[in-house]
Amino acid sequence: MGLPSPSRPITSDAGWAADRREKLITALQHDVWVLASDIGERNTGKYGNLDRAATFIDDALQSAGVPVSHQTYTVRGLACHNIVGELAGSGGSHEVVVLGAHYDSVQGGPGANDNATGVAALLALARVLASSRLSRTVRFVAFVNEEPPYIRTKKMGSLVYATACRHRRDDIVAMLSLETLGCFPAYDPPVNDPWPAKLLRPIQGRFLALVSNMKSRRLAYTVARTFRGGSDLPVRAIALPGFLPGVRSSDHWSFWQCGYPAMMATDTAPFRYPYYHTRYDTPDRVSYRALAEVIIGLHGAIIDLTMGKMMT
């Protein structure tokens, strides 16, 4: 593969200097390439790859110093795993912030942007938060079975997980779904961008979208405000009726079903990324510098969330 492994946990008190940004970019590249190139298509139709991806995520979280557990359930006779890393809060609060990303890919596709970028973001945030002292508990959850035919069914990994949280009466105060975070062609064009796309690049989207339903709009708007203070990547928060296509199309939907506040951070891939859900969704088409800016912006927002400065 030719990419170095990511470092051990990134300390959160060193600031985001240029060398630290470069280390973050290297880690993001490594994780996306492992999932979408070394492993490749990963779903119940390619079960061996799905299982390899789960093992990779488990190992990465543990290497970051995050204790890991599995929520396992059966689909078509196959054991499917939600991978759950947890950093316990230090303030005596039972409140929980969930960061989630699905690690399966669509049938026939390697899933670099959808959603190896979301998983890479999840792992990067775990590394940077692992050494932090946080009042609220943070869970890093890699969900299985988000893609068709499981999306918005009882076999969707995030719905299985959110339902269990509701049954346990977990006090989840915020859930952030990390979904397709690597297409920002006007910010950091892919190396193999065809020449017609170069002409269109100035009018292509370069913003991160924070999408919520109406009940969760405060979460999206406050995350956006903190994000702007830490990253130079433009961000737009939008609250829309949750039944609309696109608005409900990721793991945050499952938490809405269980009454939890949730939002999606996304590059709006179906509207921006021509390789969405195709075999051409490969790691070389990801904008890693922009993805790093997503991590940097979300890091500050999550620190505020986990310190109880938002959603109180």
Report field, pTM of the whole predicted structure over 0.85: yes
pLDDT of residue 133: 87
**For the segment 152-198, what is each residue's pLDDT rounded down to a tens digit?**
999 999 999 999 999 999 999 999 999 999 998 766 555 555 544 44
pLDDT of residue 7: 41
- Amino acid 243 reads F
pLDDT of residue 15: 66
Query: Confidence band (pLDDT; 50, 70, 90) for 16?
Result: confident
Query: Confidence band (pLDDT; 50, 70, 90) for 309?
Result: low
Closest residue by Cα to residue 292 from 4, 14, 18, 12 = 18
Mean pLDDT of 147-152: 96
**For the segment 42-101, what is each residue's pLDDT rounded down to a tens digit?**
999 999 999 999 999 999 999 999 999 999 999 999 999 999 999 999 877 899 999 999
Inform me whether the pLDDT recorded for 6 exceeds 70.
no
- Between CA 145 and CA 163 the distance in angstroms is 15
Question: What's the DSSP call for residue 23?
Answer: H
Q: Where are the alpha helices (DSSP H) in the chain?
A: 18-33, 47-63, 117-129, 157-168, 195-200, 217-230, 252-257, 269-272, 288-306
pLDDT of residue 54: 98
Inform me whether the pLDDT recorded for 10 exceeds 60.
no
pLDDT of residue 197: 45
**For the segment 111-134, what is each residue's pLDDT rounded down to a tens digit?**
999 999 999 999 999 999 998 889
**For the segment 245-293, what is each residue's pLDDT rounded down to a tens digit?**
888 889 999 999 999 999 999 999 888 898 999 999 999 999 999 999 9
- Between CA 144 and CA 146 the distance in angstroms is 6
**For the segment 292-306, what is each residue's pLDDT rounded down to a tens digit?**
999 999 999 999 998
- The Cβ-side half-sphere exposure at 256, using a 13 Å CA radius, reads 23
Mean pLDDT of 36-47: 98
- Amino acid 146 reads E
Write down all domains in the chain, each with its CATH number in brackets. 19-306 (3.40.630.10)
Closest residue by Cα to residue 303 from 231, 233, 223, 234 = 223
pLDDT of residue 43: 98
Closest residue by Cα to residue 181 from 41, 285, 109, 256 = 285
Mean pLDDT of the chain: 89
CA angle 273, 214, 304 (to 5 degrees): 80
pLDDT of residue 81: 98
Q: In sequence order, what are the beta bridge partners of 68?
A: 85
Residue 166 falls in which region: left (phi positive, over 0), alpha (psi -120 to 50) or beta: alpha
Residue 27: phi, psi to the nearest 5?
-65, -40
Instruction: Output 76-81 pairs: Cβ under 8 A, ≥24 positions apart.
Output: 76/44, 78/44, 78/47, 80/44, 80/50, 80/144, 80/145, 80/157, 81/51, 81/54, 81/144
More confident residue, 157 or 2: 157
pLDDT of residue 44: 98
